[in-house]
Chains A and B, each alone.
Chain A
Amino acid sequence: MATIAATPAHAHESHAHPTGLRSWLATVDHKRIGTLYLFTALFFFLLGGLEAEIIRMQLQGPNGHLVSAETYNQLFTMHGTTMIFLAIMPLSAAFFNFLIPLQIGARDVAFPRLNAFSYWVYVLGGIFINLSWLLHAAPDGGWFGYAPLTTRAYSPGLNIDFWVLGLQILGVSSLAAGFNFITTIINMRAPGMNLMRMPMFTWAAFVVQFLIVLAFPVITIALVFLMFDRFFGTNFYTTAAGADPLLWQHLFWIFGHPEVYILILPAFGLVSDVLPAHTRKPIFGYPVMVFSLILIAFLGFGVWAHHMFAVGMGPIADTVFGLTTMLIAIPTGVKIFNWIATMHGGSIRFTTACLFCIALVAFFTIGGLSGVMHASPPADLQQTDTYFIVAHFHYVLFGGSMMGLFAGVYHYFPKITGRMLSERIGKWHFWLTAIGMNLTFFPMHFSGLLGMPRRIYRYDAGQGWDGFNFASSIGAYILGIGTLFLVWNIIKSLRSGTRAGNDPWGSPTLEWAIPSPPPEYNFARIPTVTSRYPLWDMKQPVLTADVPHTQRGDKEMDVAIGGKTVGHPHPAPAPQSTRVAESAMHIETETYSAAELGIALPDPTIKPLFVALGLVIMLTAPLFMHEAQMREIAGNAAGHRTAMTMFWVFALGGASLMVGMLYNWLLTPLESAHH
């Protein structure tokens, strides 16, 4: 082993990166799973974007006749469902997977096989829900699927069955990942990586996992009720039996509002890590940024009924939920100002990643302001269910989440693939996206306030909406073209992108201390962390010298309260040489195979894929039960029997595959004996 350091690195590359389809199907490496998440989510993002383009073509002018009302309902439902559950959440998951272990100095997540399982459930769930297009039965009840509208009485087709079952499948994926990442962040941090030294993205990811594990069970139950109503004739949403027509809305939004923060906080986290790297300044007010994340998440559970002002909950409930909603603007505003303060006085490099960060700060603020507008119940009554709301949530989801995630893509693509994305094409992507986005969504504020309801598939001329809709459609086409630039950029970079090296941006956090792409074992030596910005302490201590960043000795800092100086003066920056010696941080530039270093890694296994497959097959079974019920009503006894046979084949086949493979997985050790 002692001779390894002398061996040339390139000789080992074949060991370090096994290829082939099987190696991807059986991988338990968080980086490969993250990469799979990234490209799958980008594919679904394009699919959801295509649905949006068709919607905008239909609404480009009055009396559009491109698609029927039924197809239109399916398009907007699938656009929302796809973008939320199959694009933005998994894009965030791509970064959770790739970055969390690297940022906290770990070799993998806590449960690598469970991680693979999460991915396979997600991708199979995404395929499942989209297979409905082939049957012309895509979900058509809106992304929030309000019951009783979605009960069998009002939505008799397979559409909602696909939606209910698909969301149950995707929930399993998110929950499994949630337990995994919570454990990883609590328990797998490198020595010295205390909670207040964690990179902001890891903090955001940490908070989001708590939102996921606490919010998803609620929609699971809401969906179980709907499933039972549809398949077994229970009465949860049957108003004739005395059911509360608001039960679904409450349960859904108790999940749905935290879900909004599940979508935005990872983007906030990315920006909080990307912006400092490109402005050469530590994040302004790190502790406040952390606490505002926690506060947003906490308050996020107490605002759900602001989605329901129009249902008549009464003045007390309206007032309380209006107030809690306005309260949440405070920690969010703090974050906005802290990002601006981070940029203030920095030497900003206007890279594509940085531009997307700045765009998030600007566009999210617009969406945040319209959000505060309809936090007021009287204002909301004018705006609810109009295009004003559509404008609002696209500013926070596209202008917020997607801008942050794009910033993450440009910043981290070199780390993930080892190759830079083109800045020139990136600028085209950015400017077309920024212009297209505002041209699409800003006019919606006006068409909404002029009374245009959301979810209408066609409108008459002469209501003052024509110009605004035309502008929105042109904007959407520009956005579409902008997105093609991203696709081009990715393909070009994968083929001939500039090699990135360890740290192309001069970033401060651990993931940049290792080669790009990182070797399978991540860190040959687990670093000992002595500050929030270990790489800057090593390379450019002057950047962080007068900023407290929980380095040794900065516990007592110079704080002025009410014009009075308290605490002790901050120690003068030590000379560089002693700092390097003091911080046990190091930079690894060479790639070996794990076997050469004697690092035990989890064995690749295809079992999580089969457990996921069993689960999805099992949850496909109810579709046949629906078919059997339809045939029974039609008096087709033989057809009924066939469908019921299929039901049992799928249910029992899927269940036995799942349970059998799960036992096989649990009884196999994670890694074979040490090399």
Chain B
Amino acid sequence: MTSVPLTAGHVAPDAHDPHATSTGLDNKKIAIWAFIGSECMLFASLISTYLIYKGRSKVGPFPHETWTDPSTGKTLHAILNIPVTSASTFVLLMSSLAMVLALAAVQNKNVPKRTTGERILGNSSLWLLATAALGITFLGFQAYEFTSFVHEGLSIRTNLFGSSFFTLTGFHGAHVTAGVIWLLTLFAIDRKRGLGPRDEVNVDIAALYWHFVDVVWIAIFTLVYLIK
């Protein structure tokens, strides 16, 4: 057998060095895409169940139709509040814009900033905080929506619509919450030591996750709220 000359110079580059990967991409980037693929199946299951159960509830309230309780004669209105949810959808979409600016600010941390505009656009903390704040605003809308639905007589136990609606949107809300915590963590790190180009991948995967959660909401908003 050939014996191996083992000297420091012959030792191959560290396997964890992102520059040594087969694709040239960071491991985290590939893992987050695999994770997003998996999450697609998670939300596909939730959304399919919602759609399969649409119109099968025995009692109201219903999403788009009024319903009169035969035992009390009380009429319950269509429960979805599309104007309010449109506003919250707009907020979430704007958070994706803020996220893009946050990532760009981190990537361009070392580029000299000359004007006030460049300094604002290059302020990664500002945009990370803005993204998180918009996410929190969205969650506030959702909390308002959930409580008002419960007051109008729709709980998770009421009917199939209630069960599938609260579970679907609740899962999405939980994902937004996880994203907000992630963003606030990045914000804290940025304040503490400053995020720079070497942290790009860590902000990038948070951004991919955030955009994914946003895209899922577009699907939910269309399929649950807009289509009657």
Residues of A within 8 A of B (CB): 1-2, 4-5, 106-108, 110-111, 175, 178-180, 182-183, 186-189, 193, 209, 213-218, 220-222, 224-225, 228, 232-236, 240-244, 247, 251, 254, 523-526, 580, 586-590, 592, 597-600, 602, 663, 670-671, 674
Contacts and interface: CB of A to CB of B under 8 A. Distances in A.
Interface stretch (B1-9, B104-112, B125-133, B144-152): B1-9
A597 B11 CA distance: 7
A172 B78 CA distance: 38
Contacts of A235: 157, 159-160, 162-163
A599 B15 CA distance: 9
Q: 3 tightest CB-CB pairs across the interface, nearest first?
A: A526-B12, A217-B42, A221-B45
Interface string B20-46: 011101010011001101110110011
Contacts of B7: 1-2, 4-5
B38 A175 contact: yes
A517 B75 CA distance: 74
Contacts of A110: 27, 30-31
29 contacts: A1-B7, A107-B16, A110-B27, A110-B30, A111-B27, A179-B31, A179-B34, A182-B30, A186-B23, A186-B30, A187-B23, A213-B38, A217-B45, A234-B167, A235-B157, A236-B164, A241-B58, A241-B159, A242-B57, A247-B49, A251-B45, A524-B4, A524-B6, A525-B11, A526-B13, A526-B15, A586-B2, A592-B6, A597-B8
Contacts of B171: 224
A217 B35 contact: no
A550 B41 CA distance: 36
B53 interface: yes
Contact of A525 (B10, B14, B25, B163): B10
B52 interface: yes
Contacts of B25: 187
A221 B2 contact: no
Nearest to B16: A670
Nearest to B17: A600
Given A217-B41, A218-B41, A241 B57 contact: yes
Contacts of B185: 663
Contact of B15 (A107, A193, A525, A597): A107
B198 interface: no
Nearest to A524: B6
Contact of A188 (B5, B12, B15): B15
A234 B163 contact: yes
Contacts of B27: 110-111, 183, 187-188
B228 interface: no
B63 to A, nearest CB: 15
A217 B216 CA distance: 15
A671 B45 contact: no
B100 interface: no
Most buried by A among B10, B31, B160: B31
A505 to B, nearest CB: 16
B44 to A, nearest CB: 8
A218 B39 CA distance: 10
B94 interface: no
Contacts of A592: 6
Contacts of B76: none
Contact of A597 (B6, B21, B39): B6
A247 B11 contact: no
A385 B196 CA distance: 61
Contacts of B23: 186-187
A530 B7 CA distance: 23
Contacts of B4: 5, 524-525, 586-588, 590
A1 B8 contact: yes
Interface in B180-228: 185
Given A4-B7, A228-B163, A242-B58, A213 B37 contact: yes
B80 interface: no
B156 interface: yes
Contacts of A232: 156-157
A587 B41 CA distance: 44
Contacts of A186: 22-23, 30
Contacts of B1: 587, 589
B56 A242 contact: yes
A218 B46 CA distance: 9
B38 A217 contact: yes
Contacts of B167: 224-225, 228, 234, 236
Most buried by B among A221, A222, A586, A592: A221
B31 A214 contact: no
Contacts of B56: 242-244
B45 A222 contact: yes
A12 to B, nearest CB: 12
Most buried by A among B6, B15, B21, B34: B15
Nearest to B163: A234
Contact of A111 (B21, B31, B38, B164): B31
B14 A600 contact: yes
A235 B156 CA distance: 8
Given A1-B7, A228-B167, A598-B11, A183 B31 contact: yes
B38 A214 contact: yes
A525 B37 CA distance: 35
Given A183-B30, A589-B1, 8 more contacts: A107-B14, A183-B31, A217-B42, A222-B45, A232-B156, A242-B53, A525-B6, A597-B8
Nearest to A597: B11
A630 B204 CA distance: 48
